[in-house]
């Protein structure tokens, strides 16, 4: 049975566990990754939503930063949502402080909190490449992908703003598929295990 | 994508915002400088107010929403979410906070209540957090639209006992619903003055349907870990940080303690050499009429 590790330092971890179990239909096991050594046991990883400043700091203090980079380089599928998207990017545009250090796993530049404060958070029916019907996407103080580099496939946009992309083993989203009951995004992610 | 297809201020967005705070520490701050210290220490959000609860207690008088200029300066100073307190029932303070771009309003018993009724929170685009001492109070606030609950505890005391009491009360009441049939749940709902559908939801989920944080008296890393082990989704720290001897060190240690709440050796390590915690006040010596937790119903 495939083991999917959900990075459990901070954020909506249990929602991802439930979403994975729903999409996996008993064929996967979700485990919480909090300590050094746990990522190695996992076949794939999820970087949940939360506060990127906090998650970044806790990655460092838990000694998990290098293990996460190694897991990505080894080709393990990684689903990164919201704060996770910030982490996997190579650069934060207009970064005015250095508290969040992106890991540079994906050839994208992002802008944090691109849509404004919580009152500008929104739900939208999104056309996602590979899905036949629109996906109800939940954006919460969301980042956006500002620049897409070589090797990156854009999966969804709102106007000119890219909000979902894939590069090899990395699937990165500005929204939260774990907050809705629709399993299709997590199913796409689990399919990446078969490749 | 047509802009008219976007929906704002839904229940999902409000509760979702609260879920993003899970496993984190939300810190009270009164200046932009304090907000920066909190952010650097790993806070998931800051709570802007004009004075920390311990000082509000000392100063007496009417406690109100913070000066909008200070709130704006705090929003400008950090990238993490900024919350702010409004008085119980003072929906205009909440409107002002929403207009300022605050991410969440705390309808708080720490400030002087403005009304016997709480704010109709469903009418707002931004989410609210409210205090509760028991399941009935929590369900009434959720029914009014609260997207997040926190224990009331006894703010500004640095005495964690009341937060423990309120967390145990809510958890215990939810556990007692297990296995009850509809008629029994109806009786409980009537007794605790709560909405029946919410009581049923708590019974089946075996937790509140919204995020539940600990607040009111958390002053040390061990206090924070205690609340997490008792089932809190995260922790608010009010006076505990900026009334301690070394706020930056205390803030960082409490963040570590919340993340590693079940690892005693790590808790021992982060608790070392932090300087004095806030002096505090034994909550059992506070006359009932002066206890902040008795504000609201």
> Taking a C-beta distance cutoff of 8 angstroms, is the pair A58, B259 a contact?
yes
Tally the C-alpha atoms within 13 A of residue A110's C-alpha that lie toward its C-beta.
33
Q: Name the average pLDDT for chain B.
A: 96
Taking the C-alpha atoms of residue A122 and residue A137, their distance in angstroms, rounded to an integer, is: 8
Give tens-digit pLDDT for B46-100.
999 999 999 998 898 999 999 999 999 999 999 999 999 999 999 999 999 999 9
Q: Does residue B1 carry a pLDDT above 70?
A: no
Pairing of strands B7-8, A122-126: antiparallel
Give the integer Cα–Cα distance in Å for B149 and B296: 14
CB A83 within 8 A of CB A55: yes
Residues in chain B within 8 Å Cβ distance of A15: 19
Cβ pair A12:B101 closer than 8 A: no
Alpha carbon distance B240, B53 (integer Å): 10
| Exposed / middle / buried, residue A150 (Cβ in 10 Å: 0-12, 13-18, 19+) | exposed
User: What percent helix, strand, coil does chain A show, rounded to 5?
Assistant: 30, 30, 45
Which residues does chain B have within 8 Å of residue A51's beta carbon, measured at their own beta carbons? 20-21, 24, 44-45, 80-81
For residue range B251-290, list pLDDT tens digits in order.
Answer: 999 999 999 999 999 999 999 999 999 989 999 999 988 8
pLDDT value for B5:
82
Query: Cα distance from A29 to chain B (closest Cα, Å)?
Result: 21
Which residues, numbered 94 to 153 in chain A, qualify as contacts with chain B under a Cβ-Cβ cut-off of 8 Å?
96-97, 99-100, 112-113, 116-127, 138, 140-141
Task: Please state, as a whole number, how many other Cβ atoms lie within 10 Å of the Cβ of residue A120.
Answer: 18
Mutate to test the interface with A, among B10, B14, B19 (most CBs of A within 10 A): B19
Judge contact between B192 and B138, C-beta under 8 A: no
* Given the residues A15, A42, A56, A178, the one annotated as active site: A178
Tens digits of residue pLDDT in B192-245: 999 999 999 999 999 999 999 999 999 999 999 999 999 999 999 999 999 999
Q: What is this structure's pTM?
A: 0.97
pLDDT digits 0-9 by tens, B88-144: 999 999 999 999 999 999 999 999 999 999 999 999 999 999 999 999 999 999 999
- For residues A150 and A60, what is the distance between their CA atoms, to the nearest angstrom? 28
Give residue-wise pLDDT tens across range B146-159: 999 999 999 999 99
Q: Where are the alpha helices (DSSP H) in B144-195?
A: 161-176, 182-191
Question: How large is the ipTM?
Answer: 0.97
Question: Is B126 touching A (CB cutoff 8 A)?
Answer: yes
Question: Could you read off the pLDDT tens digit of each residue along chain A, which spans 195 residues?
Answer: 999 999 999 999 999 999 999 999 999 999 999 999 999 999 999 999 999 999 999 999 999 999 999 999 999 999 999 999 999 999 999 866 678 999 999 999 999 999 999 999 999 999 999 999 999 999 999 999 999 999 999 999 999 999 999 999 999 999 999 999 999 999 999 999 987
Q: How far apart are CA B168 and CA A34, in angstroms?
A: 26
Radius of gyration, alpha carbons of chain B: 18
Q: Which residue of B has its CA nearest to A55?
A: B42
Q: How far is CA B252 from the centre of its chain?
A: 19
* pLDDT for res A94: 84
Write the residue in A51, A119, A121 that is nearest to B98 by C-beta.
Answer: A119
User: What pLDDT is attached to residue B2?
Assistant: 52
Q: Are A45 and A71 in contact (CB under 8 A)?
A: yes
Determine the Cα–Cα distance for residues B86 and B109; give it in Å rounded to an integer.
9
Residue A47, both tokens: 């970087």
CB spacing of A118 vs B6 below 8 angstroms: no
The reported pLDDT for the residue numbered A97 is 63
Query: What's the confidence (pLDDT) of residue A96?
Result: 66
**CA distance from start to end of chain B:** 45
Q: Are strands A122-126 and B45-48 parallel, antiparallel or unpaired?
A: unpaired
Q: Is A147 a catalytic residue?
A: no
First to last CA, chain A: 16
The β-bridge relationship of strands A28-33 and A44-47 is unpaired
Question: What are the E-state strand segments in A66-152?
Answer: 78-81, 91-92, 108-111, 122-126, 135-139, 144-148
| Distant-in-sequence, close-in-space partners of B200: CB < 8 Å, separation ≥ 6 | B182, B185
Backbone angles phi, psi at A132, to 5 degrees: -80, -30
pLDDT of res. A195 = 73
HSE-CB at B130 with a 13 A cutoff on CA atoms is: 33
Nearest-by-Cβ selection for A51 from B75, B80, B98: B80
CB–CB of A143/A111 below 8 Å? yes
Residue B297 has pLDDT above 90, yes or no: no
* Residue of B9, B24, B79 lying closest to A97 (CB–CB): B79
- Asked whether B125 and A119 are in contact (CB, 8 A), the reply is yes
Q: How far apart are CA A8 and CA A83, in angstroms?
A: 13
Whole-number pLDDT of residue B249 = 97
DSSP state of A179: G
Q: Helix count (H) and strand count (E) of chain B?
A: 13, 9
| B13 interface with A at CB cutoff 8 Å | yes
Indicate left, alpha or beta for A190 from its phi (over 0: left) and psi (-120 to 50: alpha): alpha
Q: How many CB pairs under 8 A join A and B?
A: 125
CB contact under 8 A, A140 and B104: no
CB pair distance less than 8 Å for B24 and A13: no
Joined together, the tokens standing for residue A184 give 């299709």
B126: exposed, middle or buried (C-beta count within 10 Å: 0-12, 13-18, 19+)? Answer: buried
Residues of A in contact with B19 (CB under 8 A): 11-12, 15, 49, 179
Measured between alpha carbons, how far is A194 from A123 in angstroms, rounded to an integer?
31
- State the pLDDT at residue B10: 98
Q: In DSSP terms, which residues pair with A136 in a beta bridge? A: A125
Tell me if residue B294 falls in helix, strand or coil.
helix
Which residues of B fall within a CB distance of 8 Å from A118? 13, 17, 81, 103-104, 126-127
| Per-residue exposure over B34-68, b if at least 16 CB sit within 10 Å of its own CB, e if not | bbbbbbbbbbbbbbbbbbbbbbbbeeeeebbbbee
Q: Does A84 touch chain B (CB under 8 A)?
A: no
């Amino acid at each position: 049975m495939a083991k999917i590790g959900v990075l459990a330092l901070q954020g909506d971890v249990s929602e991802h566990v439930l979403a994975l179990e729903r999409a996996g239909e008993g064929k996967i096991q979700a485990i919480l990754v909090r300590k050094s050594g746990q990522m190695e046991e996992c076949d794939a990883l999820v970087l949940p939503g939360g506060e990127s400043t906090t998650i970044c700091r806790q990655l460092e203090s838990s000694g998990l930063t290098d293990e996460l980079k190694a897991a990505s380089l080894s080709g393990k599928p990684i689903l990164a949502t919201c704060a996770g998207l910030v982490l996997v990017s190579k650069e934060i545009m207009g970064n005015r402080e250095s508290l969040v250090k992106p890991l540079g796993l994906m050839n994208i530049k992002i802008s944090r909190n691109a849509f404004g404060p919580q009152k500008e958070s929104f739900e939208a029916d999104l056309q996602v490449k590979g899905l036949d019907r629109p996906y109800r996407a939940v954006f919460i103080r969301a980042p956006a992908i500002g620049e897409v580099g070589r090797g990156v496939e854009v999966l969804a946009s709102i106007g000119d703003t890219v909000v979902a992309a894939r590069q090899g083993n990395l699937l990165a989203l500005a929204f939260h598929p774990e907050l809705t009951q629709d399993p299709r995004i997590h199913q796409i992610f689990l399919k990446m295990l078969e490749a | 994508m047509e802009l008219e297809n976007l929906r704002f201020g839904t229940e999902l967005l409000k509760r979702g915002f609260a879920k993003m705070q899970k496993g984190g520490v939300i810190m009270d701050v009164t200046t932009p400088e304090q907000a920066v210290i909190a952010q650097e220490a790993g806070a998931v959000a800051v709570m802007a107010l004009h004075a920390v609860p311990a000082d509000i207690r000392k100063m007496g008088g009417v406690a109100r929403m913070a000066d909008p200029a200070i709130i704006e300066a705090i929003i400008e100073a950090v990238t993490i979410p900024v919350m702010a307190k409004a008085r119980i029932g003072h929906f205009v303070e909440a409107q002002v906070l929403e207009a300022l771009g605050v991410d969440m309003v705390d309808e708080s018993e720490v400030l002087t209540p403005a009304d016997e009724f709480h704010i109709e929170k469903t009418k707002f685009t931004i989410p609210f957090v409210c205090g509760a001492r028991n399941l009935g109070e929590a369900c009434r606030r959720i029914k009014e639209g609260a997207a997040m609950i926190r224990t009331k505890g006894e703010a500004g005391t640095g005495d964690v006992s009341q937060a423990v009491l309120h967390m145990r009360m809510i958890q215990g009441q939810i556990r007692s619903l297990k296995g009850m049939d509809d008629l029994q749940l109806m009786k409980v709902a009537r007794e605790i003055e709560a909405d029946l559908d919410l009581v049923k939801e708590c019974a089946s989920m075996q937790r509140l349907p919204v995020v539940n944080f600990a607040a009111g008296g958390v002053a040390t890393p061990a206090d924070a870990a205690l609340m997490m082990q008792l089932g809190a989704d995260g922790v608010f720290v009010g006076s505990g940080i900026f009334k301690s001897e070394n706020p930056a060190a205390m803030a960082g240690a409490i963040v570590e303690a919340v993340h590693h709440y079940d690892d005693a050796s790590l808790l021992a390590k982060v608790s070392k050499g932090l300087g004095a915690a806030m002096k505090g006040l034994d909550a059992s010596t506070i006359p009932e009429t002066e206890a902040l937790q008795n504000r609201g119903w």
